[in-house]
Amino acid sequence: MNQRASLMPLSAGLQRWPVPLALVAAGVACGALTVYGAPWLGFLLLAGALFTLLTLRQPSAGIMVILLGLYLLPFGVVPIPVGALRLTFLDATLSIALLALVLRLLAHPGEPLALSPAGAPLLLFLGMATVAFLGGMSTATGETLRLFLKTINSILLYFTVINSLRTPDEVRRITRMAPVAAGGAATLALALYWLPPEQSYDLLASLAWLGYPTGESVLRYIADTPILRASGTAIDPNVLGGMLLLALPLAVTQLVECRTTVPRLLLAACVAINVLALLLSYSRSGWAGALAALVLLGLLRYRRVLLAIAAGAMALLLLPQGQAFVERFVSGLFFADRAAQMRLGEYSDALRLITRYPWFGVGFGGPPDLDLYLAGSSIYFLLAEEAGLVGLGAYLLVLGTVVTYIARRLGRARRVGLAGVQMGALAGVAGALVAGLFDHYFVSSSFTPTIALFWLYAGLAMAAAHLAAGQHEEATSGG
């Protein structure tokens, strides 16, 4: 109650005269842009102003908008350049949400900044990453600096989330939104997958004005085969798999919980669509991560999930359509195809680089030696290459703190109705770490949407655990 009450003066201030004046100024600016510039410029500026106001008034609503953008248009670029830069929608929304958090803290000096137990290790990791970047400045470029700053901005979403979700209702609101947003991304991917390739290409290429690629990379196929892979607006099929595996455990926990505010039919549809899109992405890292996340759920509490996994495995083995999925998975396990063999080669090359630069890596611009390169074989190898074993150790410390903190509070969460949120979000994070053994998109600066999504789910799990612990203490003390 005290935390919510502390936000009231800001809300009251926003309801007085500055808001009408700001709206009038925004309206004039939007009208001028519409008349003297492109017709859509005014509407774009208006949308940005409304998002800023919404984030100031209701921080959890700002997180919901970010979540929707991450799933539906993760690589969209704002068509208005800022000097020589073109910000993505993700850059803009993350920066506005972070600025809104800073303004709220300045408006209420007595309101503490929530760091959570993982906050200090995460700041340590960011410090190690900065040291690694500065150490590799000799090979860095302006583009390297831009991508590094985008990566830092995406990781800082963790702090924005845990400071924006201050009540159980706000946590549950995000929990309900995540499966629906992922279901929307999966639906887009399936629709584009089943359309004729020419139409799918035309639709995806039409997003070029928002920074999406054109050319041969628009549609992705399994190497050396005519088999199309589902990717949707995620561009890369592996990225789509990573995005969906994060949301899948959260949807499953809500589906099997005794009480849920989301219609079960909608949840069942989201789970089915997500699983189908994940399969058709042919992302073996996504499959491994999703399987690990669901097995973890089954072992922790939901035994029915293990039965569902067994039934799904039997269906894949028996149905003719499932043979292609089984063959691709087995081919990856035994490094029998070209893509898997290339990954095996990247492991070897990454070890060579790490052996030569073990402690602080080579930075984010690339190695100084011509016979080395940054092999994006897994998140762990890539971090060790860029930030060294010291940076990788700091990253593992953060993740270990998150997992330990949440695991110790699962019992309390069950008593206050937040166990499903904790376990679903934690399983998604654990699944992402398993997928990270085989791909790098959860730490690579080229894929900041998946970095942001990973830390959003980590922040959601930590916010639920913190609230569960607080509510449990109030209940046991009679408060």
Per-residue pLDDT tens over the stretch 381-410: 999 999 999 999 999 999 999 999 988 877
Residue 61 lies in a domain: no
Identify the pLDDT of residue 42.
59
Residue 152 lies in a domain: yes
21, pLDDT greater than 70: no
Residue 91 lies in a domain: no
Choose among 129, 248, 93: nearest CA to 181: 248
Residue 38 lies in a domain: no
CA dist 52 and 55 (Å) reads 5
DSSP code of residue 229: E
Domain count along the chain: 1
Average pLDDT of 35-63?
Answer: 75
Residue 2 lies in a domain: no
Residue 65 lies in a domain: no
Give the range of the structural domain holding residue 338, as residue numbers without chain letter.
117-477
Residue 71 lies in a domain: no
For residue 303, what are the contacts with CB-CB under 8 A and spacing of at least 6?
none
pLDDT band of residue 219 (cuts 50, 70, 90) is: very high
pLDDT band of residue 141 (cuts 50, 70, 90) is: confident
What pTM, to 2 d.p., does this model score? 0.90
CA dist 223 and 227 (Å) reads 8
Residue 110 lies in a domain: no
Half-sphere exposure of 472 (CA within 13 A, CB side): 18
Are the C-beta atoms of residues 69 and 185 closer than 8 Å to each other? no
pLDDT tens digits along 348-389: 889 999 999 999 999 888 888 888 888 777 999 999 999 999
* 53 sits in which H/E element: helix 39-57
Give the dihedral sign, CA 441/251/415/2.
Answer: positive
Identify the pLDDT of residue 473.
46
According to DSSP, the residues that pair with 301 across neighbouring strands are none
